[in-house]
Amino acid sequence: MESTEPLLSIQLCIPAPGSRTRVRELHRQLRAAILSGRLAAGLRLPATRALALSLGVGRNTVVAAYDLLLGEGYVEAVPGSGHRVAALVARRTATTALRRTATEPMLQQRLAPAYRGLVGSADREQDGALPYDFRLGVPEKTSVHFDVWRRLSARNLRSLGRREVGYGPPRGQPSLREAIAAHVSLTRAVACHADDVLVTAGAQQAFDLLARVLVTPGKSVVAVEHPGYPPTRIAFEAAGARIARVPVDEEGLVVDKLPRETRVICVTPSHQFPLGCALSPRRRVELLAFAERQGAVIVEDDYDGEFRYDSRALDALQTLDQSGSVFFVGTFSKSLFPALRLGFVVAPAWAMLPLVVAKERADSHCNLLAQETLAAFIAEGHLARHVRQMRGLYAQRRGLLLAQLARDFEPWLEPLPGTAGLHLAARAKRDLDVERVVRQARQIGVGVSSIADYGSGLSLPRGLLFGFGALEAARIHAGLDRLRSLFAKLPPR
């Protein structure tokens, strides 16, 4: 009785009779199976006649494929035994792995300095989120009007399907640039037109593009807040800038500490990241005067300026600027959801063309469907209504967080002043081992951050950071209860 067992432990898919690629496909699939280890070294391959019969191909097809593998060294002909998978492949793979491990530091010299010696993974996916995670920069997603977004997306997808769609304009879809100009004029009193707006893949790409067009490697001095937002600093460092870390106090960036040779100043004036203070009116005037006097530019990061709670928002630096010195950077990651990956730069006219060229060279343009959908979402008033709704929700969560910190953590923490945004900073009031608190909190399911994650040095205030955007009120209360029990058990220092 003829056996029905397959001749090989892999499935081979051969093109239909008459195809001129049957030899090529058989050779490719056998070679891939050998390289991946599915056909192990030393394995005897089926006889050419038997394999041809099982595959329904001519024997010459199998002979030709085997000959190619033989010539490439993937198989070897053994007298009296037909063809076997060459052991050389396995040895070569193992030897290469050993050599790569032994010479890893030398091989990494091929990388740019900023990318050498990296450990771990940059993948944001985590194995099980903490039940009480006070993460920074993450908004509430359950209140986003996804039903509206879905309807607008479907409508714009049909519209795109009815017209010839090629590459989009690097500057961004005209409809979205018009909508952004109207939005920032209404919410932040930023005076601009659609031609002043460049659409980016989030604020992070905005920083990268600005670094490309503003930095002369090895020469340009870029001032960043300390503590501050690391991705901004990293973008300018990667472009070859000389970084100057400038301290922050209760009025924001200390302008008097800016080096005279500074050419780019990165600042978060509406809600300093991470301490939460706003740049005072006096400092705003001083900063603009410094930029005009020294021929410097200002990168104004307004990452969550829509959410203010206790007072009227101070004028944006871009609104006060009279010399074309300010680049206003915004994002929809906080006002809507991070996965959208859309942001923008309101740029002076003299810098727009270089930014458009840099954007085109980086990724041509942002997703057209997402741009058109967001444009409609803004133009029809959905974003404004959503921001008003979320401002009330976040104000409630912020009030709960402040009240519980004041009541239960008074011996250890002092909340820092701040009237905007989706997180709060709290200074350690005594010799508290903040890093130990962060580690032990994670063990009981509470995620908090240390101010030290965003700077270094003895002058840096010690304390904790609490994000409340993604935690509903009940979970804020329960998470702080757990954290309070941990504080109560800390040994005195």
CA proximity to 186, closest of 63, 335, 297: 335
What's the mean pLDDT in 78-83? 84
Residue 432: phi and psi, rounded to 5, are -90, 135
Compute the mean pLDDT over every residue in the chain, rounded to the nearest whole number. Answer: 90
DSSP 243: E
Quick one: pLDDT at residue 4? 42
Query: Mind listing the pLDDT tens digit for each residue in 166-206?
Result: 899 999 999 999 999 999 998 888 989 999 999 999 999 99
Residues in the chain: 493
Q: How far is CA 160 from CA 163, 328, 373, in A?
A: 6, 30, 11
- Position 19 pLDDT exceeds 90: no
Strands 242-249 and 75-78: unpaired
- Structure tokens that stand for 415 in this block: 């909340």
Between 10-19, 244-253, 421-430, the lowest mean confidence (pLDDT) is in: 10-19
What's the mean pLDDT in 90-100? 55
Q: pLDDT band at residue 54, thresholds of 50, 70 and 90?
A: confident
What's the mean pLDDT in 230-243? 96
Quick one: pLDDT at residue 380? 96
In contact, 12 and 29? CB cutoff 8 Å: yes
- Position 310 pLDDT exceeds 90: no
d(CA 155, CA 369): 10
Q: pLDDT band at residue 93, thresholds of 50, 70 and 90?
A: low
Query: Mind listing the pLDDT tens digit for each residue in 284-309?
Result: 999 999 999 999 999 999 999 889 98
Cis amide prior to 247 (ω within 30 degrees): no
Q: pLDDT band at residue 232, thresholds of 50, 70 and 90?
A: very high
- Position 1 pLDDT exceeds 50: no
Highest mean pLDDT, choosing among 55-69, 121-135, 248-262, 451-465: 248-262
Place of tokens 């099982």: 54
Between 70-79, 91-100, 178-187, 207-216, the lowest mean confidence (pLDDT) is in: 91-100
Domains of the chain: 1-119 (1.10.10.10), 132-139+385-489 (3.90.1150.10), 146-381 (3.40.640.10)
Highest mean pLDDT, choosing among 85-99, 109-123, 311-325, 387-401: 387-401
What's the mean pLDDT in 414-437? 92
Q: pLDDT band at residue 103, thresholds of 50, 70 and 90?
A: low
Quick one: pLDDT at residue 89? 47
Q: Which residues of 15-24 are buried (b: 16+ CB within 10 A; e: fewer)?
A: eeeeeeebbe
The model carries a pTM of 0.79
